[in-house]
Structure 1
Amino acid sequence: MTPTDTPIEAAERASRAVDLSAPPLPGAVPMPFEELRSLDFVKGLSDQDLRSIGRGIWQVAYAEGDTILQTGEYGDAAFVILTGYAEVRLPVQFPAPKPAAPENWLTKVKRVLGRGRGAATSDSHQKEATPDGTIILSDFPVDARPGYQARLQAGDIFGEVSALSRYPHATDVVAVTALRCVVLPTPVLRRLKNEVDAFGEMIDRLYVERTLDVHLARVELFAGLPAEVRSALRASAELVSFSPNQEIAAQGDPCDDFYLVRGGYVRLAVREGDTDLSVTYLRKGDYAGEIGLLLDEPWPMTLTALEHVELVRIGRDDFKRALASSPHVEDELWAAVVDRLKERGFALRNPSAVASLAVAMDTGLIHGESVLLIDLNTCTKCDDCVRACADTHGGTPRFVREGIRVSHYSVPTACYQCTDPVCMIGCPTGAISRPLGTLQVLINQDTCIGCHRCVNGCPWHNIVPVPYFSTTLGRDIQLATKCDLCVGRDEGPACVQMCPHGSAVRVDLKDAAVVRDLFS
């Protein structure tokens, strides 16, 4: 029997089909086969393989002054310049959050009367620049300051980090002349990386040159490493990729590598009899391998990719050399070993308690930075939360109270405000966005055209189309709607604040410990 796709796998499968059958962005046209064959980065592919993969390779033209990539947006394609020049620009000022929609009189009265009942629980987690104004660039080789610019020319590739690892673009890329580019959607980019050795080596080299040192410096564990030690790690590190459900390391196998998660989620599980018990999960910036390398033992748990995963692999000898020069890092790793072994022991002693952790992984809750939960032990199904949401949004609620159940909580059909909002990828008008430095993913009803790309792109089905007359288009459309955390409302999300029993809460579920404690 063919196993059922997880939501992430289903979304990936759908995106692959879309990428091969329709233009990935407005104005993109197929590349003629003869021109495809002339591209350096496909050399080594047979004509049969090139015809197969070439169905997903496109070309697009830009006029002087056109913005190709924009700061804060997520991308699902890399670009290779064929002719012309582009410029990388780090904005002097970053986009501010969009103002909230005007309140109607009933919403305003309820908001004023509701003050003093306890502010809603929500997460700020502002993503800001460092105090001196620098930010991390995901595609370029420097912690650049606002106003930084660099020139790109024929043969240069850009956008690949966002496409592979779902980092938002940290810069604008603007055409400074008429420009023609090859467009490589993410599924094609992954396939080329895996099947064309020279291309894969180029992508890995660009990551090492442009980004790895910055990533190492921003991972708390490595932040204090001397620059020369990070430089040595950068020279020896290897970038490796894994597909959904692919095993990265097996419990009991020799442990010879240290892994740093660059993108995606990784499940850690321990085998007990015929059952794999979920212990925890890893996300961007997390790491694994410290137990086996420090204790000189086999892998104590199995690592499996929950989705497409990008890892930085550091070999045993390079890992040991780094520790020898930085005793404080070794001290931190020993503390991490103790914590991880405690998690492993907890899973073995309490298999039923960690079952909810597995559910949270499989249903995508671990992606959420503000997940709406309803405590079924205290909820009376009065629907005040739904009415409050509707009153705040002009009569149309932005969530459905019914949803999946985990432990004694119901998880309504409401946007999770994911760490990596894949729903934003590919919107033809930019109507769905997350203003830089904010938590809310917003949909602009004036620029939404009802194409449903975000609706179909949400793996958790939390974006709902509703009938709407678009004054921009002058016709009826199915407007994409979703929870926006009541952006601009002083008390935070209305569903939480107006619940008379305190049953509705908003929780950041990125941390596995929070998930375990909440659902155990």
Structure 2
Amino acid sequence: FQGVSSVDIRQVAEQTQVRRYDRDERLFSEADKGQPERESLHILLDGFVKVARRTAAGTGRDKTDERIIAYRQGGDYFAGGLDMLGDRRAVTVTAITRTNVAQVPRQVLLALLARYPEVRQRFSERLQLYRDATAAAYSGVFEPFNLNQLVKVNTASDAEARAGLDSLVRDGVVEGTEVLVIDLDKCIHCNECEEACARRHGHSRMNRKGMVVGNISIATACRQCQDPVCMLCSRAGIARMPSGEVYITESCIGCGICAERCPYDNISIMTLEDEDAAARPAWEQFSSFFKKGAGKERGRKVLPMAAAPGPLNAQQSIDAFGEMRKKLAIKCDLCAGYNNQACVQACPTGAAIRINPTTFFGSTEEILRRRAK
């Protein structure tokens, strides 16, 4: 809306409705033809949505299936479901994450475009980009690297590339802000990244094996999501620093709610008691005390994070605290409090790196447009 007067902007804002959609909630469906929601201008304030059409070749109960043909993310916009791809065919749009959408009524938009030809021209150019990307949306072939710094990925087939693009969104990669990836051309499978994590934190918070896209493996580790649903904790056992790191607080009692909420299985629950210690002979337990320190004494493996009670009720005894803290949630917090990240620092070949997925892989629209060229 660059170039639109503040008075007109205010009038548009007064008639604009901001709606919040939960994960998997539909903005509109192919079957809902003629609804005002479909005819409105949708501006994605944040979050991700998928655009799909039904096919007649499905294997579902109704003999139809869904074909994902495009993705949209915060900052994108489209003028209703009938023309968002430029072909006037209906689509179904579903929120992948919690999404905030500003809906500008069709008549308000048309009046604004009639008053400002330059704005209309910009909308037409965006619509042309959607048209150019339509073929790419169906194939989903993409180049997931910064071509100025990294080697271009070689895609074996359209089907493989489409699966890769779908995985980036379905598995929440593009939703993350700090994603640990491993260049398989450099990785020597020494496992030093995991071992360094375990040495620093007492237990590895990552698994180097994960989804593979091209020659990049996306490690199984917390990605510090833009919209972390895991933070809905009644005990404030998980929080976010101003700098963005999501971390486990000392209020955590290991209930597992955050792990259940994480859609990507990047939080695990660790038992603080060493279950193997009780089964070991007394002489072995005694010798391990001197080898590994008091943390192994009487079978208890005390993590640094669990060394202090945290904000529990002052009237509770230490024994009560001990009963509550038999388990603890474990997740990557980007080595908050340290001056480096253990996994990245320890990699001998530089294969392990942290990336911002939108910068590294490109926005979903850039991915599709790249294929269209």
TM-score of the aligned structures, taking structure 2 as reference length: 0.66
Larger Rg: 2
Report the Cα offset of residue 251 of structure 1: 10
Q: Mapping of 1:379-394 within 5 angstroms?
A: 379-393=187-201
**Matched residue, 1:338:** 128
User: What runs of 5+ residues in structure 2 fail to find an aligned partner?
Assistant: 58-64, 142-157, 273-301, 310-320
1:377 shift after superposition: 3.5
For 1:365-514, what aligned pairs fall within 5 Å after superposition? 365-393=173-201, 395-425=202-232, 427-436=233-242, 438-444=243-249, 446-468=250-272, 469=302, 470=306, 471-472=308-309, 473-475=321-323, 476-490=325-339, 492-510=340-358, 511-512=363-364
Quick one: distance in 2 between partners of 1:269 and 1:241? 20
1:324-335 alignment to 2 at 5 Å?
A: 324-335=114-125
1:23-54 CA distance string (max 9 Å, x none): xxxxxxxxxxxxxxxxxxxxxxxxxxxxxxxx
Give the one of 104, 116, 137 matched to 1:314.
104
Give CA deviations for 1:231-257 in whole Å, capped at 9, x if unaligned: 222333345566626362539967632
Q: Which residue of 2 aligns with 1:230?
A: 9
SS of the aligned residue for 2:70 comes to: strand
Residue equivalent to 2:146: none
d(CA) in 2 for partners of 1:486 and 1:250? 46
**CA 1:267–1:296: 2 relative to 1, 3 Å:** closer
Distance (whole Å) between structure 2 residues aligned to residue 439 and residue 311 of structure 1: 23
Separation (CA, whole Å) in 2 of partners of 1:268 and 1:253: 16
Amino acid at match of 1:373: V
In 1, the alpha carbon distance for the partners of 2:366 and 2:328 equals: 34
Equivalent position SS for 1:354: helix
CA distance in 1, matches of 2:370, 2:244: 22
Q: Give the letter aligned to residue 15 of structure 2.
A: S
TM-score, length of structure 1 as denominator length: 0.49
Kept after mapping to 2: 8 A contact 1:290/1:333: no
**In structure 1, distance between residues paired with 2:218 and 2:369:** 16
Measured in 2, the distance between the counterparts of 1:504 and 1:305 equals: 31
For 2:266 and 2:163, the matched residues in 1 are separated by: 24
Residues 357 and 516, structure 1, Cα contact 8 Å, conserved in 2: no
Deviations 1:472-511 (A, max 9, x none): 1245421112111122433x42322322223222222243
Output the amino acid matched with 1:448.
C
CA distance in structure 2 between the partners assigned to 1:457 and 1:238 by the alignment? 29
Report percent identity of matched pairs: 29
Amino acid at match of 1:483: C
CA RMSD of aligned residues (A): 3.6
Alignment of 1:176-325 (within 5 A): 222=1, 225-239=4-18, 244=24, 246=26, 248-250=28-30, 256-262=39-45, 264-269=47-52, 274=57, 278-289=68-79, 298-299=88-89, 302-307=92-97, 309-325=99-115
CA-to-aligned-CA distance 1:247-292 (integer Å, 9 cap, x gap)? 6253996763211224542112467884765443223343112796
Shift of 1:396: 2.0
Residue 369 of structure 1: how far off its partner (Å): 1.1
Alpha carbons of structure 1 residues 505 and 258: separation in structure 2 relative to 1, 3 Å: same
Contact 2:206–2:219 (Cα < 8 Å) also in 1: yes
Q: 1:467 to 1:345 in 2, by over 3 A?
A: same
> Which whole-Å CA distance do the structure 1 matches of 2:110 and 2:235 have between them?
50
Residues of 2 paired with 1:378 and 1:252: CA distance? 50
Alpha-carbon distance, 1:453 to partner: 2.1
Instruction: Provide the C-alpha distance between the structure 2 equivalents of 1:455 and 1:273, rounded to a whole number of angstroms.
Output: 38
Measure, in 1, the Cα distance between the counterparts of 2:72 and 2:85.
21
Structure 1 distance, partners of 2:369, 2:116, is 34
Amino acid of the structure 2 residue aligned with 1:454: C
